Amino acid sequence: MKPTEFVKVNGQLWGEHLKGVAGHLPVSHRTELPGPMLFPRMMVLTETPDWNILELVGLSREYRTLEVRRQKLASVEEYFGLRPGAGEGDPVMSLPGENLFKDATIATTAGRQALEDRFPTAANVLGEVYAGPGDELLRFEPGNYSTFDRTLLVHTAGDSLRVHWVNFAIAIHRSEPADRYLDFLQTYSNARPHLDPIGTLSLPVDPAVLRADAFESTYLAHGLQDSTVEQFLDKHEEILLSVFGATKLVREPALGDLHPDFILERADGSHVVGRLELPVVDTTNGKKRRRVFRTPVQESAAELAKYAEYFATADNRAQVKSKYDVEVTDPRQLLIVPSQETVTPAAGVEVVDYDTILRLHLS
Give the pLDDT score at 354.
83
pTM over cut 0.85: yes
- 174-220 per-position pLDDT tens digit: 999 999 999 999 999 999 999 999 999 999 988 888 877 777 655 55
**Separation CA 270–CA 272 (nearest Å):** 7
Between the CA of residue 322 and those of 260, 315, 318, 333, what are the distances in Å? 17, 11, 6, 22
- 278-309 per-position pLDDT tens digit: 767 676 666 666 666 556 677 888 899 999 99
- DSSP string covering 151-208: EEEEEEETTEEEEEEEEEEEEEETTS-HHHHHHHHHHHHHHS-TTS-TT-EE--S-HH
Please choose, from the candidates 213, 161, 208, the residue with its C-alpha nearest in 3D space to the C-alpha of residue 356: 161
Decide: helix, strand or coil at residue 122: helix
* Neighbouring C-alpha atoms within 13 Å toward the C-beta of 294: 0
CB 217 within 8 A of CB 227: yes
**Separation CA 37–CA 132 (nearest Å):** 33
Give the pLDDT score at 61.
85
Give the pLDDT score at 270.
95
Q: In this structure, how many other beta carbons lie within 10 angstroms of the beta carbon of residue 149?
A: 18
Residues of the chain with pLDDT under 50: none
